[in-house]
Homo-oligomer: A and B are copies of this chain.
Amino acid sequence: MDFIAENANWLSLIASVIGLVFAGTLVRWILAQDAGNEKMVKISEAIQEGAQAFLKREYRYVAMVVVVVVIALLALSAVSDDSSPWTALAFVSGAVASASAGYVGMSIAVRANVRTTQASSESLNRGLRVAFASGSVMGTMVVALALLGISILFFVLNEVIDDAETAANALAGFGFGATSIAIFARVGGGIFTKAADVGADLVGKTEAGIPEDDPRNPAVIADNVGDNVGDVAGMGSDLFESYASSIIAAITIATLGEGIAPDKLTEGQAFPLLIAGIGLLIAIGSSYLVRTKEDATQASLLGSLRRGVYTASGLVAIAVIVISLILDLGSGVIIATISGLIGGVLIGFSTEYFTSDNYKPTKNLSESSEGGAGIILIRGLAVGMESTLPPVLIVMTVTLIAVKATGLYGVAVAAVGMLSTLAITLATDAYGPVADNAGGIAEMAELEGSVRDRTDALDSLGNTTAATGKGFAIGSAVMTALALVSAFVTATGTQDVSILDARLVTGLMLGAMLPYIFSAQTMLAVSKAAQQIVVEVRRQFKEIPGLMEGTADPDYERCVAISTDSAIREMVIPGVLAVAVPVVVAIVAVIGDGNIIGDFVGAETLVGVLLGSLISAFTLAVMMANAGGAWDNAKKYIERGNFGGKGSDAHKAAVVGDTVGDPFKDTSGPSLNILLKLLAIVSVVIAPLLSL
């Protein structure tokens, strides 16, 4: 069975190519669907142009960042023997791969939206299939391109670099490249989507008194674009990074020989590649299970998505056992990987419990809206805070089991296990914004009510999957970051720092604070950007004659341009902060080595920062995501006629909750995933600096 272990990267390469072919088939099928009438096509094209414009702008900035980082990485390799100039190649590959996945996924999403609307005018099942196919394109592209890049680089880097540890370090550059995209796509996209959404609502619903998705609202296209750049491209880039980094961390830790027998290093490196490859193939197969009958209820729609995900999880678990046996890796690896897989599913459940109006927390939250805005806010924050309990306990349990089973290697393969079914879990996630857009298009194109009813059913399902997807994204980010931190600590030999070392303790404090500063920046970014949208929408209502009456068209493009500008501008500070902290700490640590500065700042500080930010960002992100989800669904629950329904005082209070919840769940919360992974991957990449 040495053949399999030694050629794992070729096998995973084959799987990734199959994935690309599958995605290509889906793309052709989607584009072959009817795009509906002229008005629908026109609206869809406006969304396409807006999304395209944002990505172009974003990628231009990314390109500049890439150039700077490449120079920095080459400089690092010049001063450190443990760092290779090939890291720069890996970095560029990671950035290109993630950008490509995001580009393709989003390009299809903005074309699938109108086709979903049209398909929904025929039947619910057809609508579901088009929207889900679009989600599958995103999910499959992310997984296939990440795996393709790693598979090729694994071969190339081990060919050109003699030392296996240096090769593994260079491979981490791929994850870093993916991160550089994620910071723009997730943070920038998050700011864009909520600025447009909040801005559109503040003027449209509140001041002008026109409904959501009304074509007279100049910000309505920006709002729809935002769903795509935030929830498709942003979410995709976040999980691309987690996915790639978890595999890289497992390979790195195996190379370092932590938790794996010395004669099993090749098998240890092969295992994550094989699980990822087989996971992709299983996910593709399972996606065919997602279909429904015409008279489907909400429950049966959700059931059909779940059928796909659970089948995939079960099959991957079997695959884990088989592959471990073939590679003779022992039961520890099996236990660790499957515990991660189960942990991911459980985190999804817990998120659903706290944010779905089928359960007590959100139901009670709805009821508390009768006490006014102040009360629903207090209660919502409390729900968010309480909701940290299950995910923290789950991640703790997975960590303890994984480490007991097979040491630090266990943490990394648990993360790989959690993300092994990503191609289908991300599909259920990325399907949501397509359905949401489809509903908006139905409204704007003034299609008959039955179409909107069907797209609403699809959209509502998308909200549930979006909430569980967020929980899953956080959980997997934490596991991935933990694996990266383990790799960093092992590589720098800082395991044995005293727990009372002042540098470690102050590093923990600094790390715990970073998520707060980062979130403050992203929250302020949304409120500033939304304010600019408000001003622009007011201006158009005032200056464009006939706009309110529907006889003149608004200038959609300006709102898209404003959202784009401010999203890109506002993400600079948090982005720089996240990259600068580990780099500055590392440089000061190097400078201080052997002199008095070293008594205050050292590699120990960075270890503290990584662990402190990990635990602080984890809890804060869960709190924000779930409070936001609960407020959103509490509002929708009222809108369905409970506690006075739309327009009641309870509803007004719930709207305030939702306004706060929007940046919580779609901007600041998810951005923290990026922060914690970014700090960790940057540290891993610059680790050679600290072993100088």
Instruction: Using CB atoms and an 8 Å cutoff, list the residues of chain A in contact with chain B.
Output: 198, 202, 206, 368, 371-375, 377-379, 381-383, 385-386, 388-389, 392, 395-396, 399-400, 403-404, 408, 482, 486, 489-490, 494-500, 502-506, 508-513, 516-517, 519-521, 523-524, 526-527, 530-531, 534, 599-600, 607, 611-612, 615-616, 618-619, 623, 655-656, 659-660, 663
Q: Which of A198, A506, A599 is most buried by chain B, counting CB atoms within 10 A of its CB?
A: A506
Contact status of A392 and B510, CB under 8 A, knowing A378-B663, A520-B382, A523-B381:
yes
Q: Which of A400, A496, A599, A615 is most buried by chain B, counting CB atoms within 10 A of its CB?
A: A615
Which listed residue (B392, B502, B524) contacts A379, Cβ 8 A? B524
- Given contacts A400-B600, A513-B619, 10 further A-B pairs with CB under 8 A are A377-B377, A378-B524, A378-B527, A378-B663, A382-B523, A382-B527, A385-B517, A486-B500, A495-B499, A516-B619
> Which chain B residues lie closer than 8 Å to A495 at the CB level?
498-500
> Which chain B residues lie closer than 8 Å to A663 at the CB level?
378
Q: For the complex, what is the distance from the CA of A656 to the CA of B652, rounded to whole Å?
A: 12
Copies of this protein chain in the complex: 2
Contact status of A615 and B612, CB under 8 A, knowing A202-B371, A372-B202, A373-B656:
yes
Q: For the complex, what is the distance from the CA of A283 to the CA of B400, rounded to whole Å?
A: 51
Chain A at the B interface: SS class: helix
> Which chain B residues lie closer than 8 Å to A510 at the CB level?
392, 396
Q: For the complex, what is the distance from the CA of A381 to the CA of B524, rounded to whole Å?
A: 9
In the complex, the 5 A-B pairs of residues with the closest C-beta atoms, listed nearest first: A374-B659, A385-B520, A403-B502, A512-B615, A385-B516
Residue of B nearest to A392 (CB): B513
* Distance between A113 CB and nearest chain B CB, rounded to angstroms: 28
Residue of B nearest to A383 (CB): B520
Q: For the complex, what is the distance from the CA of A382 to the CA of B599, rounded to whole Å?
A: 33
Whether B499 contacts A388 by the Cβ 8 Å rule is no
Q: For the complex, what is the distance from the CA of A403 to the CA of B605, rounded to whole Å?
A: 14
> Which chain B residues lie closer than 8 Å to A618 at the CB level?
509, 512
Which listed residue (B513, B534, B659) contacts A389, Cβ 8 A? B513
Q: For the complex, what is the distance from the CA of A385 to the CA of B512, rounded to whole Å?
A: 11
23 A–B pairs (Cβ distance < 8 Å), ordered by A: A198-B374, A202-B371, A368-B527, A373-B373, A373-B656, A373-B659, A374-B659, A377-B656, A379-B524, A381-B523, A382-B519, A385-B517, A385-B520, A395-B509, A400-B503, A404-B502, A486-B500, A489-B500, A496-B498, A499-B504, A512-B615, A612-B615, A615-B616
Q: For the complex, what is the distance from the CA of A623 to the CA of B623, rounded to whole Å?
A: 14
Whether B496 contacts A482 by the Cβ 8 Å rule is no
Residue of B nearest to A486 (CB): B500
> Which chain B residues lie closer than 8 Å to A385 at the CB level?
516-517, 519-520, 523
> Which chain B residues lie closer than 8 Å to A408 at the CB level?
500
Residue of B nearest to A513 (CB): B392
> Which chain B residues lie closer than 8 Å to A395 at the CB level?
509
> Which chain B residues lie closer than 8 Å to A404 at the CB level?
502, 599-600
Q: For the complex, what is the distance from the CA of A599 to the CA of B399, rounded to whole Å?
A: 12
Q: For the complex, what is the distance from the CA of A496 to the CA of B495, rounded to whole Å?
A: 10
Contact status of A378 and B516, CB under 8 A, knowing A373-B373, A399-B505, A495-B499:
no
* Distance between A523 CB and nearest chain B CB, rounded to angstroms: 4
Whether A389 contacts B202 by the Cβ 8 Å rule is no
Q: For the complex, what is the distance from the CA of A604 to the CA of B140, rounded to whole Å?
A: 42
> Which chain B residues lie closer than 8 Å to A206 at the CB level?
372
Contact status of A371 and B531, CB under 8 A, knowing A495-B498, A499-B494, A663-B378:
yes
Q: Which of A392, A403, A500, A513 is most buried by chain B, counting CB atoms within 10 A of its CB?
A: A500
> Which chain B residues lie closer than 8 Å to A373 at the CB level?
373, 656, 659
Q: For the complex, what is the distance from the CA of A504 to the CA of B519, rounded to whole Å?
A: 27
Q: For the complex, what is the distance from the CA of A486 to the CA of B516, rounded to whole Å?
A: 26
> Which chain B residues lie closer than 8 Å to A382 at the CB level?
519-521, 523-524, 527
Residue of B nearest to A612 (CB): B615
Q: Which of A206, A495, A509, A616 is most buried by chain B, counting CB atoms within 10 A of its CB?
A: A509
Q: For the complex, what is the distance from the CA of A619 to the CA of B495, rounded to whole Å?
A: 26
Residue of B nearest to A519 (CB): B385
Q: For the complex, what is the distance from the CA of A522 to the CA of B245, rounded to whole Å?
A: 39
Contact status of A611 and B505, CB under 8 A, knowing A371-B202, A372-B202, A616-B512:
yes
Whether A512 contacts B619 by the Cβ 8 Å rule is yes
Whether A611 contacts B499 by the Cβ 8 Å rule is yes
* Distance between A401 CB and nearest chain B CB, rounded to angstroms: 8
Contact status of A615 and B502, CB under 8 A, knowing A371-B527, A388-B517, A527-B375:
no
> Which chain B residues lie closer than 8 Å to A660 at the CB level?
374, 377-378, 381
Whether B615 contacts A509 by the Cβ 8 Å rule is yes
> Which chain B residues lie closer than 8 Å to A513 at the CB level?
388-389, 392, 619
> Which chain B residues lie closer than 8 Å to A611 at the CB level?
499, 505, 508
Whether A499 contacts B508 by the Cβ 8 Å rule is no
Whether B374 contacts A656 by the Cβ 8 Å rule is yes
> Which chain B residues lie closer than 8 Å to A523 at the CB level?
378-379, 381-382, 385
* Distance between A672 CB and nearest chain B CB, rounded to angstroms: 12
Q: For the complex, what is the distance from the CA of A496 to the CA of B527, rounded to whole Å?
A: 46
> Which chain B residues lie closer than 8 Å to A498 at the CB level?
495-496
* Distance between A613 CB and nearest chain B CB, rounded to angstroms: 10
> Which chain B residues lie closer than 8 Å to A512 at the CB level?
392, 512, 615-616, 618-619
> Which chain B residues lie closer than 8 Å to A368 at the CB level?
527
* Distance between A679 CB and nearest chain B CB, rounded to angstroms: 15
> Which chain B residues lie closer than 8 Å to A389 at the CB level?
513, 517
Q: Which of A498, A499, A504, A505 is most buried by chain B, counting CB atoms within 10 A of its CB?
A: A499
Q: Which of A379, A490, A524 is most buried by chain B, counting CB atoms within 10 A of its CB?
A: A524
Whether A526 contacts B619 by the Cβ 8 Å rule is no
Whether B656 contacts A399 by the Cβ 8 Å rule is no
Residue of B nearest to A617 (CB): B512
* Distance between A424 CB and nearest chain B CB, rounded to angstroms: 28
